[in-house]
Structure 1
Amino acid sequence: MAIQDEAGSLRERKRRRTRSALIDAAAELFARKGYDETTVAEIAAAAEIGTRTFFSYFASKEEILFPDSADRVRATLEAIEARGPGEGPVEVLLRAVREISEADADMVSPMAAVRTRLMRTVPAVQGRALLIQQAAQRDIARQLRDAFPGELDAVRAGALVGAMTGAVGGALQALLEDPETAGELAADPQRLRGRLRSATRAALEPWSGRPG
C-alpha cells in the first residue's frame, strides 16, 4: 500500500509540474508572439511534451489562459459554506478573497499579467472571460443568498457578488497594467496580494450595513 501511495504521489507531482510548465510556456509565448500567433503545438513543444498530452491538461488555448478559475469559484463557495456564526455576507466574501489570494498563485502570476492584456485586445479572450465571470457570479450569488436568507434576496446577493468580482477584477487590472506594480509581481507578490485585498475591502465595506 505504501508503495502504491508513493507511486500515486509521484504521478501527481509530475502532473502538477507538467501543468505548471504548460502555463509558464503559454504565458511566455503569448507575451512574446501574441495570442493568435501562438499554436498549441508550440506551447506543448516549449513545455517538452507532445500535443496530444497538452489536451489531457487543457481543452484549448483559451482554457490555459484561465487555469484556476474553477478552483477560485469552488474555494469561494466553500468559504460561504464554512461561515462562522458572527460572519455576515461581506465578512465571508472578504475572507474568501483573503484565503484565495494567499493560496492561488495564478492571481498574481505572469499568466495573470498576460491574461489582463489579452482581455482588452483579443475578442475570443474577452468572450471567454465574460462567460467565466458571469457563471461564477451566478453560482456564488446563489450560494450567498441561500446562506443568508433573512438578509439577502437574489437581487442584493447578485449585486454584492458583482461588487466583489468587479473590485477584484478592476484592482488586478490596474495593478498588473501599472509599470511600477509589474515589477512588484516578480519582486514582492505578497505586497501585490495585500494591495488587492485592501482594494477589495474598500469596495465591499459600504455593503456591511443592514439592508435598507
Structure 2
Amino acid sequence: MSLREQKKEQTRQALIAAAERLFDEQGYEGTTVEQIAAAANVSTRTFFTYFRHKADVLYHNSTESVEAALRVIASRAPDESPTQLLARAFDRLLQDNWEMGMYAGLIGHALTLPIASPKASIERSNARLERLAAALVEVCPEEVDRVGSYAMVGAAIGAVSAAVGAALGEERTDEEALEAGRCACRRALAGFDQSWEAGSGDDDGRSPGP
C-alpha cells in the first residue's frame, strides 16, 4: 500500500471510529454527518468522498465480512456437508463483525441501531444473500440447488439476527450474544439435514425447497 493509500485508509478508519462513538453516545438519529466529520478532524466534503450517506458507515465492514465468508465456502473440506460448511461461514461472519464493531451488523443488517433507509437495507441484504447462496451452489452442485441454497442462507440469516438481537435486548454480554448467534445458526441449518435424511428432497436428491 502506497503512502497515499495509507493516508486514505487512515482517514476512512477515523471517520468510522468517530461515527461509532457518536452513535453510541447520542444515537444514530441524533448524529449528523457534520458532527462525524468534525470528530474525525476532516471536512464534510471529505466524509462524502468515502461514504455516500450516513447509513453507509453502519455497513463499513459488511463487504469485507462477506468476502471472508465466501473464502470459507470456497475452502470446503472433502467430507464437509453443505450445512456444516455454511455454519462455518457464518461463524466467520459473526466473528468478523464482532471484532470490527457491532454497528456494522450481520450481512448488512444493523442490530443495535435504526436504519435510515429500509429500501437500501433490503437491497444490501439481498445482494449479500445472493452471493452467499450462489457460492454454496457452486461448491456443492450435487447436493444443493439454487432454491435450497437461498432457503438455507435465509434461514441462517434470520436465526442469527433474531438470536443476537434477543440476547442484546436482554443485556447479555457480547460473548453470550455471539454464542447465541452460533447456536441459532446451527439449529436452523440442522432442519435441512433432517429433511435430507428423511428423503424429503427433490427427485434428484438435492436439497428441498422452502
Give TM-score, length-normalised by structure 2: 0.78
Structure of higher RCO (CA pairs closer than 8 Å, 6+ residues apart): 1
Tell me what 1:149 maps to. 141
Secondary structure, counterpart of 1:48 in structure 2: coil
Unmatched runs of 5 consecutive residues or more in structure 2: 201-210
- Which amino acid in 1 is paired with 2:152? L
Measure, in 1, the Cα distance between the counterparts of 2:181 and 2:137: 25
Does the residue aligned with 2:49 lie in a helix, a strand or coil?
Answer: coil
Q: Indicate which of 77, 97, 106 corresponds to 2:90.
A: 97
Letter in 1 for 2:131: D
Q: Name the structure with the higher helix share.
A: 1
1:91 Cα shift?
Answer: 0.7
Tell me whether 1:56 sits opposite 2:64 in the alignment.
no
Contact 1:22/1:47, CA 8 A, preserved across alignment: yes
After TM superposition, list the pairs within 5 Å mapping 1:51-130 onto structure 2: 51-105=44-98, 109=102, 112=105, 115-119=110-114, 122=115, 124-130=116-122
RMSD across aligned C-alpha pairs, in angstroms?
Answer: 2.8
Q: Distance in 1 between matches of 2:154 and 2:14?
A: 33
- Give the whole-Å Cα distance in 1 for the aligned partners of 2:176 and 2:30: 34
Provide the C-alpha distance between the structure 2 equivalents of 1:10 and 1:194, rounded to a whole number of angstroms. 40
Q: Any idea what the Cα deviations from partners look like across 1:32-55, whole Å, max 9, x if unmatched? A: 545444321211101222223223
Q: Structure 1-normalised TM-score?
A: 0.77
Q: For residue 137 of structure 1, what is the aligned residue in structure 2?
A: 129
Task: Verify the 8 A CA contact 1:27 1:111 in the aligned structure 2.
Answer: no
- The verdict on how the C-alpha distance between 1:31 and 1:117 changes in structure 2, with shifts beyond 3 A counting, is same
Aligned length: 195
